[in-house]
Amino acid sequence: MIRCVLLDDEKNALEMMEWLLKTYCPQVQIAAMCSSAEEGINAINEYKPDIVFLDIEMPKMNGFDMLEKFDTLFFDVVFCTAYDQFAIKAFKYAALNYLLKPVDPEDLIATVKRFEEKRTVPTRQQFELLLQNMQHTGKTVPQRIALTSGDGLIFVPVADIIYCEAESNYTNVVLTGGKKILVSKVLKDIDEALSGPDFFRVHSSYLINLNRIKKFVRGDGGYLVMDDDTPINISRSRRQEFMDSFSKF
């Protein structure tokens, strides 16, 4: 059984989350439903939940400020938010769980399943990265991203990523200096997190950093040579889009 605390200043949102959990995730026991950060702090200390479903925007004390009240985080956090797509990307960069309001039952089921499989607790560094990125959403590309590897999280500068290569249900992220990180996410997830002016999906198996292209070779259908001298083919279906994007870049 998974124990959780729900925290949202809107009564309707609390009741809807309660219904969703009881209907679709019966393995999750709701220990408390709180409408303020102060109530949430007391409930978390009393019930020691496994997960806190946390609304960010609340009066007096928001979700981030509430988390700062805990010296040590012993629970996972799922942010429930109505933020736009730029802010959602900040959650992905920090590798933090979120549910977009109104909450979709399939997204909730998938979130609970991920917790059951890994039972991880977020770090202060993830929250710091989230806050930094949310301050610049839609303006600049975040400078760092949290990558989920087999033994934890690795924080890397986005500019150091040369390319990402699909490997079954995992992704190899190749960095400058010859370092390679096997990330426990499919390439599609990495593509969604890094999508923007600096990255382009040139092939079903490759996502590249446009800043790390050493050479473009027109022959043989066209291929790229990256900073580490790795040759990467451009799929025929993506070539024209790549050329248009690269010419603007």
Which tokens sit at 135? 């301050």
119 and 6 belong to one structural domain: yes
91 and 173 belong to one structural domain: no
Q: Is the pTM of this model over 0.75?
A: no
pLDDT at 65 over 90: no
Question: Long-range CB contacts (< 8 A, 24+ apart) of 238-241?
Answer: 238/201, 238/202, 238/203
31, with CB counted inside 10 A (0-12, 13-18, 19+), is middle
- Provide the pLDDT confidence category of residue 44 given band limits of 50, 70 and 90: very high
pLDDT at 86 over 70: no
DSSP at 177: G
81 and 121 belong to one structural domain: yes
111 and 17 belong to one structural domain: yes
- Amino acid identity of residue 19, one-letter, is W
Q: What is the pLDDT of residue 180?
A: 93
pLDDT in tens, 132-168: 777 655 545 567 888 888 777 888 999 999 999 999 8
139 within domain boundaries = no
148 and 240 belong to one structural domain: yes
Q: What do you get for the CA distance between the two ends of the chain, in Å?
A: 51
For residue 17, which of 78, 73, 64 has the smallest C-alpha distance? Answer: 78
122 and 165 belong to one structural domain: no
- Which domain, by its residues, includes 128? 2-134
126 and 37 belong to one structural domain: yes
91 and 10 belong to one structural domain: yes
Longest Cα–Cα distance in the chain: 67
Reduced to 3 states (helix: H, G, I; strand: E, B; else coil), residue 6 is: strand
Identify the residue whose tokens are 């996972």: 76
16 and 110 belong to one structural domain: yes
Q: What is the pLDDT of residue 26?
A: 96
Residue-averaged pLDDT of the chain: 87
Annotate 187-233 with DSSP letters as a single string: HHHHHHHH-BTTEEEEETTEEEEGGGEEEEE-STT-EEEETT--EEE
Reduced to 3 states (helix: H, G, I; strand: E, B; else coil), residue 53 is: strand
Angle between helices 105-118 and 11-24 (to 10 degrees): 70
Please report, rounded to a whole number, the percentage of residues in the chain having pLDDT higher than 70. 92
pLDDT in tens, 165-223: 999 889 999 999 989 999 988 999 898 888 778 899 999 999 999 999 999 888 766 78
41 and 95 belong to one structural domain: yes
pLDDT at 109 over 80: yes
